[in-house]
Chains A and B, each alone.
Chain A
């Protein structure tokens, strides 16, 4: 019995020892050694900068951005283009990816606990204000594109999942979003401190705060012009205020996107990579025909034919406009597409190299905007001079000779309507392979140039004769946030989430 008692006591002692040590304390073992646990503002900012290239073009599969404005057309077959089917625009990744990244930069620079942390200020910019201002500016630029694609979107209730337990954010009207973006941009403009530049993590303006300020004003002018049909008073006040602060007028200040040396590279690089170099997307007949009609020398710096053609080979006199053909988008069947592609010109090598530089928001675009604003009475100025400067900026950026002769051959018409038409047409020509979402917004607002659906496309889209004027929401928006989605569709789209429902600022029907 003694032994048993002893054993029991021993067992209890062991049990006591076991329970006294804390079995649930594992220290830091569950902290991943494979990924950072702390955010770095410089790295986050670069991530957000990458997003801007999406507005030029996709880099594979479906190049809807240049396709929606008649710059590129599918040349290999006819089945994938976004105009063939109803196309959804998914904003999710922007919200939880790029825009959230910018929010995080803003928070880290606002929060008293983190704003002076070495990882917040040291690698990127010593000025919290500059970080916030650049993040707000870039956030507004991205958000403007999103709302211009689909219309109403969550804004005031966005990013409140974890913080406010709001997993079903309501949609704000496009007008409210524009108002909020104007405010953010104006606030940001006031915060910029030119003394402290951003680090090279800013791949857009190489850290140059002066250029950020010009860009900030330029976006506001662009937005103001866009709403000029629907809200002339706001447009006038916003445009003139931004114009007074100064926008981009020099090629050296414009926003370019230099694609990086990684395998994905520029949008047309994957095409150049393929062994047969058969461009799955080639020049669209719309832009080629326009250059032909204008006898525009940018034809020769953008496109090429002949034996030395970078992609594809075809005969003809490369100095003759009549030798150049584009591909019509929306042909009857694959053989027709392939037949047209077989005689079409190619884009030049500069668009196809891996680390190509594409214009994103060009000086030309900014100057055309100012010229249009003069014609529309938003500001006072010399429209013809701005128009000429814009063309010169475009020629200069594209390294094309003959701007003066071209301006002489195509002077700005005297009458207001004619002048506006000409400015819009020239802006569309100049915007080739720049920010194609912006170019599409211009077309939707001004209806210049005309972009009719082909007979074959009309068969797929009964009752519609022109290119679509918005994207439908992603099915994930309707599936994951159904009540708010339904409310938004009924409130802002007349109950019809359709590609041909016009956005708030798009007041004239397209023909």
Chain B
């Protein structure tokens, strides 16, 4: 009857080892049961000692013990980690109820530079998440697994087919020119490294330090917060072998609402126009019989019609299965569909473009801990085939973490983490992108295309079959190639090799001093290779070979001295640490590619380039030196003060001022010490203030000339610098203040945290545009103040906690208000970026507004409350084109929204019944705007469901207005009089996609279930009975991205947008389902 889980299990195991090896004495035998006061469950592994002796035993799986040779009149000590010790006089039967140790609540938090501090002593907001909560669904990427779990952390990622690990932004945008915000640093076991070099299977816990007060000790790099990852290590006296394996299946997740009533081509445009005329009142002008037959005379001898293969829009004839139509394959003698016409029906199913992806993740870890050493070695292999054909991602992690204590005054740590990461043919979004076949097809496509048929893409002569042939005798594509051909003829590999090394030696000196030396290295190599073959008639790519390499050598050398001591009968405790550090960074790139194709097909060598191949390289180096320190003082375990100070010297800053001093201070008070309420376990009030400086890119302080283009490949040219550099540029400084409180009550059944912060970032280094006639285009100067103000709130706990059943839930929400308080006296707004098809739409930073003001260049005129303003059509031509009214195009630039969200957050919940457990995690965003290309093009090309819906007359909008069709528009005319009218659908949606940029701006609100898992752990009793050395085993059903519960954006998932203000032809969404098996010996 062993039903304890998680942390408790761990503490029991500790108890087991602590109490191992006890000797026996004589006299009476005492037996009894030890139970927990908290839940009445038996306490397993509690030790029972005779006081003052080494005689003791541990409790069994039922909490029972039996201790022989107890001298009468002696005292028994009952202890177990997590519970307060208890003493009882010896008797034949002694049953004990252990109360939880309040010290259990005294969690230790790893803060900056690996300094361990009591939770109580921390005067700023941190969030600690246990590794097991992050691996619920066996996500292989850290970012994905953190989504929704930290208040105030926004998670951005693309869909799974991009193999993107996503990025996290804490507390909003701090730079006027970087709307998305900057990522925090990722610190693994004390070494600043990359999130992609983290093996989730090794993660013991993750601590998120959100503000500068938390990260002042990391210097400029830590200005955007820090994600501190502690990996698992072997525990003294334990030897384990752990094994886990997950197999998941990945399926395309459809968010598109497509129409299935009208087919491809543009004949329907004529059908709509003619249908407006009285003379066609009795002609079914939208029928395939009329459009392809009677009107365009496209009949074949077998009675089938020819469709518009060369067209790539979907404004064609109405589907009608009684009519046979010749597809592109009909004319291809090498196709099995040669001379076989098909019924004119909707055949496009997005899922046909994809396969089922499979991911296998296996981890094996071994740990061994002795009295003077402990070592853990772990290896994970992940092999993932994407739902996209010929796309695959491989991740391999090998880690070794070792700790040696050769003497009692020396402590050596060696840590090595190796990551191999390869992406093959990652998907990418964009307009008309080969890397995103679905996006390409829903921008321009035909609903009658059957993609199952196009899988067989290669003709015997090596040319490629496409749906979009030029004519019945010319099989070259008009616009679009066969996406399956691209998937196989294009092979792009990106391979990273990461080596993260940490070596640390610490000498313990008298009087509580410790000195340490540490070396931390990030050594990375990247190799990218792309081969591309332009088969016979391919239109959209050419044969190509490209190779690129880069390397990073980032070494940090650190010396430190630490000291802690308590005074006044332990009432005053002081921890102090001082560091000296140097970081040497070196980054080099080399890339080369062929131009204008390859002379000999499929010979992938640069010398085979048709035109001269291109090569470029670069080298970047910098050094920073730092001296910093930290002092924490605690009084009566109630009042705490923490001070940090740091001075950096940075080679990237102007020589005249290449150093800067900054720091932070925080205080915390344990309010629960002032209340004698036993339901209040912990109540802390905290406040902090800090400054963090930041630096600039290398080589930005001196002028360089550009090597320009080379005339006739021989005479070179040189360009002059165009950005003037302020020789007295200062580093950017972020100043932040925060106050917050956190509590735990009812024996840890309820916990909460609320935090308010204000963060001002000034002295931004901006390129101020100046009149070109000054001789410069820009001036690089200090300017700007960006303010982020916000509140973060978390609450959670065990809603139900009984012996067999628990239900817990955690919820968080955050609001960040971002403002560009000032930019520059000469400049009130800064242009960020734009996109343009007919009219541009894009984004600004404007003084007084949140960074990321969205604007459009044209729109359908609307009233303030969103009604369309329409103009009565005057000429016969206009009436035929539109109906009685047409939209008015307003082509003035206008602000329409902002990309910053109102609220972000997530929640997770778990249920446990006996050894079954069910866990779910969710995340959400409320507010903020996003533009959508998918919607723009789906409407324009006539694929979107609304372009062929049934209107209020009960007639499809595709039918001519004169026949009851048309899009039903309720608006006003230019004088404000109400208008209730129908507009020809083709004109309406084509105009919309060309001119109505406002129409594709959406709220980015969504709610998503990101993870789901159902786990069954083998009961301990069963495991023990097996007697094969197995100590635990479980099996889980896991799912990621299972359900986009709500999205304010039609046809795409706003949580998976790569460019976060713009959905630019989203890569296909996917969801995974699988099984995980874990066991430990």
Q: Which residues of A contact B (CB under 8 A)?
A: 3-4, 7, 11, 18, 23-24, 26, 29-40, 43-44, 46-47, 50, 90-97, 100-101, 103-104, 153-154, 157-162, 166-169, 200-201, 203, 260-263, 275, 355, 476-477, 479-481, 484
Q: Specify the chain A residue showing the minimal Cβ separation from B706.
A: A35
Contacts of A40 in B (CB 8 A): 705, 718
Shortest beta-carbon distance from A290 to chain B in Å: 34
**Is A262 touching B772 in the complex (CB atoms < 8 A)?**
no
| CB-contact partner of B717 in A46, A157, A275, under 8 A | A46
Bound-complex Cα distance A50 to B718 (A): 11
Q: Can you name 11 A-B residue pairings with CB atoms under 8 Å? A: A23-B627, A30-B622, A30-B701, A31-B702, A34-B704, A39-B720, A47-B717, A92-B773, A96-B774, A160-B774, A262-B709
- Which of B513, B627, B703, B718 has the largest count of A CB atoms less than 10 A from its CB? B718
- Which of B596, B622, B708, B711 has the largest count of A CB atoms less than 10 A from its CB? B711
Given known A-B contacts A26-B623, A37-B703, A260 and B712 have beta carbons under 8 A apart: yes
Contacts of A157 in B (CB 8 A): 773
Contacts of A481 in B (CB 8 A): 771, 773
Contacts of A484 in B (CB 8 A): 771
Contacts of B561 in A (CB 8 A): 11
Bound-complex Cα distance A100 to B625 (A): 39
Q: Specify the chain A residue showing the minimal Cβ separation from B769.
A: A480
**Is A203 touching B715 in the complex (CB atoms < 8 A)?**
yes
Contacts of A96 in B (CB 8 A): 720, 722, 772, 774-777
Bound-complex Cα distance A480 to B776 (A): 12
**Is A92 touching B720 in the complex (CB atoms < 8 A)?**
no
| Chain B 934-956 interface residues, beta-carbon cutoff 8 Å to A | none
**Is B773 touching A154 in the complex (CB atoms < 8 A)?**
yes
Bound-complex Cα distance A477 to B651 (A): 36
Shortest beta-carbon distance from B682 to chain A in Å: 37
Contacts of B772 in A (CB 8 A): 90-96, 476-477, 480
Q: Specify the chain A residue showing the minimal Cβ separation from B700.
A: A30
**Is B622 touching A36 in the complex (CB atoms < 8 A)?**
no
Contacts of B679 in A (CB 8 A): none
**Is A203 touching B706 in the complex (CB atoms < 8 A)?**
no
Bound-complex Cα distance A320 to B587 (A): 66
Bound-complex Cα distance A95 to B705 (A): 16
**Is B658 touching A24 in the complex (CB atoms < 8 A)?**
yes
Q: Does B37 have its Cβ within 8 Å of any Cβ on chain A?
A: no
**Is A29 touching B651 in the complex (CB atoms < 8 A)?**
yes
Contacts of B777 in A (CB 8 A): 92-93, 96
Shortest beta-carbon distance from B823 to chain A in Å: 14
Q: Does B915 have its Cβ within 8 Å of any Cβ on chain A?
A: no
Shortest beta-carbon distance from A477 to chain B in Å: 7
Shortest beta-carbon distance from A196 to chain B in Å: 19
Shortest beta-carbon distance from B702 to chain A in Å: 6
- Which of B655, B707, B715, B716 has the largest count of A CB atoms less than 10 A from its CB? B715
**Is B771 touching A38 in the complex (CB atoms < 8 A)?**
no
Shortest beta-carbon distance from A18 to chain B in Å: 6
Given known A-B contacts A24-B649, A33-B619, A34-B619, A355 and B580 have beta carbons under 8 A apart: no
Bound-complex Cα distance A434 to B425 (A): 48
Q: Specify the chain B residue showing the minimal Cβ separation from A92.
A: B772
Q: Specify the chain B residue showing the minimal Cβ separation from A34.
A: B618
Contacts of B719 in A (CB 8 A): 47, 97, 101
Q: Specify the chain B residue showing the minimal Cβ separation from A163.
A: B775
Q: Does B876 have its Cβ within 8 Å of any Cβ on chain A?
A: no
**Is B699 touching A43 in the complex (CB atoms < 8 A)?**
no
| CB-contact partner of A91 in B709, B715, B770, B773, under 8 A | B773
Given known A-B contacts A23-B649, A46-B711, A95 and B717 have beta carbons under 8 A apart: no
Bound-complex Cα distance A425 to B863 (A): 55
Bound-complex Cα distance A158 to B773 (A): 5
Contacts of B513 in A (CB 8 A): 7
**Is A161 touching B724 in the complex (CB atoms < 8 A)?**
yes
Bound-complex Cα distance A168 to B358 (A): 63
**Is A30 touching B698 in the complex (CB atoms < 8 A)?**
yes
Shortest beta-carbon distance from B635 to chain A in Å: 23
Q: Does B510 have its Cβ within 8 Å of any Cβ on chain A?
A: yes
**Is A43 touching B774 in the complex (CB atoms < 8 A)?**
no
Q: Specify the chain A residue showing the minimal Cβ separation from B626.
A: A23
Contacts of A32 in B (CB 8 A): 698-699, 702, 704
Q: Does B595 have its Cβ within 8 Å of any Cβ on chain A?
A: yes
Q: Does B611 have its Cβ within 8 Å of any Cβ on chain A?
A: yes
- Interface class of chain A by DSSP: loop
Contacts of B595 in A (CB 8 A): 263
**Is B704 touching A37 in the complex (CB atoms < 8 A)?**
yes
Proximity bits, B111-148, A CB within 8 Å = 1, else 0: 00000000000000000000000000000000000000
Given known A-B contacts A26-B658, A35-B704, A38-B705, A100 and B623 have beta carbons under 8 A apart: no
| CB-contact partner of A97 in B658, B711, B712, B720, under 8 A | B720
Shortest beta-carbon distance from A261 to chain B in Å: 5
| CB-contact partner of A100 in B620, B659, B707, B720, under 8 A | B720
Contacts of A169 in B (CB 8 A): 771, 773-774
Bound-complex Cα distance A46 to B619 (A): 27
8 other A-B residue contacts (CB within 8 Å) besides A263-B596, A480-B772: A24-B649, A30-B652, A36-B718, A47-B718, A93-B772, A168-B771, A201-B715, A480-B771
Contacts of B29 in A (CB 8 A): none
Shortest beta-carbon distance from A94 to chain B in Å: 8
Bound-complex Cα distance A159 to B720 (A): 13
**Is A30 touching B596 in the complex (CB atoms < 8 A)?**
no
**Is A161 touching B709 in the complex (CB atoms < 8 A)?**
no
Bound-complex Cα distance A157 to B775 (A): 10
Contacts of B775 in A (CB 8 A): 95-96, 100, 103, 158-162
| CB-contact partner of A477 in B511, B655, B771, B776, under 8 A | B771
Contacts of A44 in B (CB 8 A): 717-718, 720
Shortest beta-carbon distance from A170 to chain B in Å: 10
Contacts of B617 in A (CB 8 A): 34
Contacts of B776 in A (CB 8 A): 96, 161-162
| CB-contact partner of A29 in B622, B770, B774, under 8 A | B622
Bound-complex Cα distance A93 to B719 (A): 11
Q: Does B407 have its Cβ within 8 Å of any Cβ on chain A?
A: no
Contacts of B651 in A (CB 8 A): 26, 29-30
Bound-complex Cα distance A161 to B699 (A): 22
Bound-complex Cα distance A382 to B707 (A): 49
Q: Does B875 have its Cβ within 8 Å of any Cβ on chain A?
A: no
| Chain B 300-316 interface residues, beta-carbon cutoff 8 Å to A | none
Contacts of A90 in B (CB 8 A): 772
Given known A-B contacts A18-B627, A262-B710, A39 and B774 have beta carbons under 8 A apart: no
**Is A203 touching B618 in the complex (CB atoms < 8 A)?**
no
**Is A18 touching B718 in the complex (CB atoms < 8 A)?**
no
**Is A480 touching B705 in the complex (CB atoms < 8 A)?**
no
Bound-complex Cα distance A11 to B658 (A): 26
Bound-complex Cα distance A35 to B702 (A): 11
| Chain B 773-803 interface residues, beta-carbon cutoff 8 Å to A | 773-777, 779
Q: Specify the chain A residue showing the minimal Cβ separation from B627.
A: A18
Q: Does B381 have its Cβ within 8 Å of any Cβ on chain A?
A: no
Contacts of B659 in A (CB 8 A): 23-24
**Is B716 touching A46 in the complex (CB atoms < 8 A)?**
yes
Shortest beta-carbon distance from B295 to chain A in Å: 19
Contacts of A103 in B (CB 8 A): 775
| Chain B 651-685 interface residues, beta-carbon cutoff 8 Å to A | 651-652, 655, 658-659
**Is B770 touching A480 in the complex (CB atoms < 8 A)?**
yes
Bound-complex Cα distance A47 to B711 (A): 9
| Chain B 93-109 interface residues, beta-carbon cutoff 8 Å to A | none
Q: Does B713 have its Cβ within 8 Å of any Cβ on chain A?
A: yes
Q: Does B239 have its Cβ within 8 Å of any Cβ on chain A?
A: no
**Is B770 touching A37 in the complex (CB atoms < 8 A)?**
no
| CB-contact partner of A4 in B511, B701, B710, under 8 A | B511
Contacts of A18 in B (CB 8 A): 580, 627
Bound-complex Cα distance A39 to B706 (A): 9
Shortest beta-carbon distance from B143 to chain A in Å: 32
- Which of A23, A169, A275 has the largest count of B CB atoms less than 10 A from its CB? A23
Given known A-B contacts A30-B699, A96-B777, A36 and B704 have beta carbons under 8 A apart: yes
